């Protein structure tokens, strides 16, 4: 079996029964070729993903902090309005 995406797709689809369920018979699976990049490329990919995941985690944390500050600010404004410390009629 080739590693071309179309051939992999149709090779796996060869075991589909009349119900449309995918089956992969043992002899086909044993002869299946799994394309795997060289170890150095795998390490480079993993390193790149680690960097990107760290950047995403930092962005998420910043957004959570902003959301928390806005929620605190909202509570503060509501408290000040309810206790009469600010006159909302003047602000509108």
**Which tens digit of pLDDT belongs to each residue from 10-65?**
666 655 555 656 677 788 778 888 888 999 999 999 999 999 999 999 999 999 99
> Which of 42, 41, 35 minimizes the C-alpha distance to 7?
35
Position with higher pLDDT, 89 vs 41 = 41
Q: What is the pLDDT of residue 55?
A: 98
Supply φ then ψ for residue 80, to 5 degrees: -65, -40
- The span from the CA of 11 to the CA of 88, in Å, is 69
CA dihedral (55, 57, 59, 65) positive or negative: negative
CA distance 74 to 77: 5
In whole angstroms, give the CA distance from residue 79 to residue 72. Answer: 10
């Amino acid at each position: 079996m080739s590693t071309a995406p179309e051939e992999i797709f149709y090779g796996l689809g060869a075991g589909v029964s009349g119900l449309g369920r995918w089956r992969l018979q043992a002899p086909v699976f044993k002869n299946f070729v799994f394309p795997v990049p060289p170890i150095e490329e795998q390490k480079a990919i993993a390193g790149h993903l680690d960097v990107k995941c760290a950047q995403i985690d930092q962005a998420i944390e910043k957004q959570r902090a902003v959301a928390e500050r806005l929620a605190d600010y909202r509570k503060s404004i509501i408290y000040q309005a309810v206790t009469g410390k600010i006159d909302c009629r003047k602000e509108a």
